[in-house]
Amino acid sequence: MMDTVAVNGEVRRLEELRLQDFLQSFFFGAGFFETFLVTEGTPMFLERHLARLRSSLGAHAGCVRAPPEDVLTAGSVREALHRCLEADASLGPRFTGVGKLVAGDGRLLLSFRALPAPHAHTVLDELEDRGYRRNDPTLRHKSVSYLRQYAHFGRGTVFANEAGELCEAPNGNLFFLLGDAVVTPPLEAPCLPGVIRAVLLEEGRLGDMPVVERTVERAQLEEVRGCVLTNSVSLALAVPRLLGRELPGSHALAERARAVVREYARREE
Amino acid sequence: MMDTVAVNGEVRRLEELRLQDFLQSFFFGAGFFETFLVTEGTPMFLERHLARLRSSLGAHAGCVRAPPEDVLTAGSVREALHRCLEADASLGPRFTGVGKLVAGDGRLLLSFRALPAPHAHTVLDELEDRGYRRNDPTLRHKSVSYLRQYAHFGRGTVFANEAGELCEAPNGNLFFLLGDAVVTPPLEAPCLPGVIRAVLLEEGRLGDMPVVERTVERAQLEEVRGCVLTNSVSLALAVPRLLGRELPGSHALAERARAVVREYARREE
């Protein structure tokens, strides 16, 4: 993580921040976060990330202290971001990397880190089917109460609910090439309302296939011909092996998904 | 919260602690906590709280950075606690209140707060049956990924799983007077392995009734004649109304439970 951050728009050094100003997030996981790509100084889909953050804060108004409204706007975050990049020579105005927002304790913390090592695919061979519950409202929010997902980072996990329906990966949403469509589980599975997921659903097509929300049962795995993991940093990763099945078709699908996402991002800038 | 804390046994001022030393807990909820009663300088059931903390850390060795082993012993925590009480005139060696331990980021943070306003009972009239999943392994650990519970503080909530089985309250375990026994849900419900819960199960009797672990279905509510909520600060609270049912028998049950717990605590000091 980089040394320069912003708190409610004010540029600070990470080392200056006091734990006591973030106690509700620290003690109770009472905060929400967003992670997004920054390319040559430009944050990707910032409006969408802030909309999700505001939505989660709104749904938890009684227990999570939201930052002031005026720091939760795209204009305000863009300004804070540019001030950080200019203030820190190791970042610089053309910084490319990852931005992170954490909202809680009445504060919006903006921080930066380097891009992860590039990789175009990820193998998902581990099924975790003991924790997710259909319609669980808490798993639709990206809160810092994130241990359930964090404990599975790097382990190639797919979460399934009590009905044997596939939900998501710890670090992203899943899209399956299934029959004549590209299918992603509904939010009720549950899964996070991912920003890249929403973009692909809005576009509605990948090549000649429709992109739809639909329940995907574990038993349907045998019919899956491709799989893609989406998140706001990697955009779309091929899943060439899913729970023991080889899926070479995933690479082309992921490439097409990345192209759609990049085109959307250009339009929204 | 009080100004004086200890980090890995060293007495510090809360305001000196830097967020950057607790980032894994803050960003990902990757830490565990314990809350316990301190009476005239003596922590209650400290060995049991530390055993639970070590157990959760052991189960998450790959993703939560445990504090050094030597600071996780009862002797070490007692010493740190006494140094804090002596260092701060507003606490003092005869301090009565609440102690809290948070373990994560390679650190053990000990902090203090005042006792909550005394109340001997709590009404539980709200059923939340959309989130808990039978056998979910994450809900058996008291992690700082606590938003699921925290969001229901003060709302009189009882959590139930997908099979309609009662699990726990956001702030404690539940015991039901049901048939000829006092029944508490099994850990698989799931529920936290509460310290007071364990003491009551070890004692095995409340008055002339056996205390047992057994599944309690929502449909059995009509037969419940009393209910008690247990946690390490209030010990045992009567639940004189449970999901619409008046349970005057809860007061005597809670009083008996408190007596058992205090007797155990005396023996273990």
The pLDDT tens digits for B76-105 are 999 999 999 999 999 999 999 999 999 999
**Using only C-alpha atoms, what is the Rg of chain B?**
19
Domain ranges of chain B: 4-113, 126-268
Per-residue pLDDT tens for B158-169?
999 999 999 999
- The pair of structure tokens assigned to B42 is 């003596």
> Residue A120 pLDDT more than 90?
no
User: Does A6 lie at the interface with B, CB-CB under 8 angstroms?
Assistant: no
Cross-chain residue pair A148–B145, CB shorter than 8 Å: yes
Residues A98 and B228: their CA atoms lie apart, in Å, by 48
Distances (CA, A) of A196 to A36, A111, A173: 10, 21, 8
**Is the peptide bond prior to A185 cis by the omega test (within 30 degrees of 0)?**
no
Percentage of residues in chain A with pLDDT exceeding 70? Answer: 100
> Residue B12 pLDDT more than 90?
yes
User: Does A61 lie at the interface with B, CB-CB under 8 angstroms?
Assistant: no
Q: From A110, which residue of chain B is nearest by alpha-carbon distance?
A: B27
- The pLDDT score that the predictor gives to residue B7 is 98
Domain boundaries A4-113, corresponding CATH code: 3.30.470.10
Percentage of residues in chain A with pLDDT exceeding 90? Answer: 97
Backbone φ and ψ of A94, nearest 5° = -105, 25
Considering only the beta carbons, identify the residue of B23, B26, B143 that sits closest to A147.
Answer: B143
- The pLDDT score that the predictor gives to residue B234 is 96
pLDDT band at A71 (very low <50, low <70, confident <90, very high): very high
Residues B191 and B172: their CA atoms lie apart, in Å, by 9
Interface pTM, i.e. ipTM: 0.96
User: Does A123 lie at the interface with B, CB-CB under 8 angstroms?
Assistant: no
User: Does B120 lie at the interface with A, CB-CB under 8 angstroms?
Assistant: no
Distances (CA, A) of A83 to A4, A7, A10, A104, B193: 10, 12, 9, 22, 48
Per-residue pLDDT tens for B17-57?
999 999 999 999 999 999 999 999 999 999 999 999 999 99
Mean pLDDT estimate for chain B: 97
> Residue B115 pLDDT more than 80?
yes
Q: Please, what is the angle between helix B74-87 and helix B46-59, to 10°?
A: 120
> Residue A213 pLDDT more than 90?
yes
> Residue B119 pLDDT more than 90?
no
Residues A169 and A148: their CA atoms lie apart, in Å, by 11
Percentage of residues in chain B with pLDDT exceeding 90? Answer: 96
Q: Are domains A4-113 and A126-268 of this chain identical in fold?
A: no
Mean pLDDT, residues A52-81: 98
Mutate to test the interface with A, among B35, B127, B145, B188 (most CBs of A within 10 A): B145
- The pLDDT score that the predictor gives to residue B269 is 78
- The pair of structure tokens assigned to A206 is 């990948």
> Which CATH topology does A126-268 take?
D-amino Acid Aminotransferase; Chain A, domain 2 (3.20.10)
User: Does B153 lie at the interface with A, CB-CB under 8 angstroms?
Assistant: yes
Mutate to test the interface with B, among A1, A16, A26 (most CBs of B within 10 A): A26
Residues A23 and A28: their CA atoms lie apart, in Å, by 8
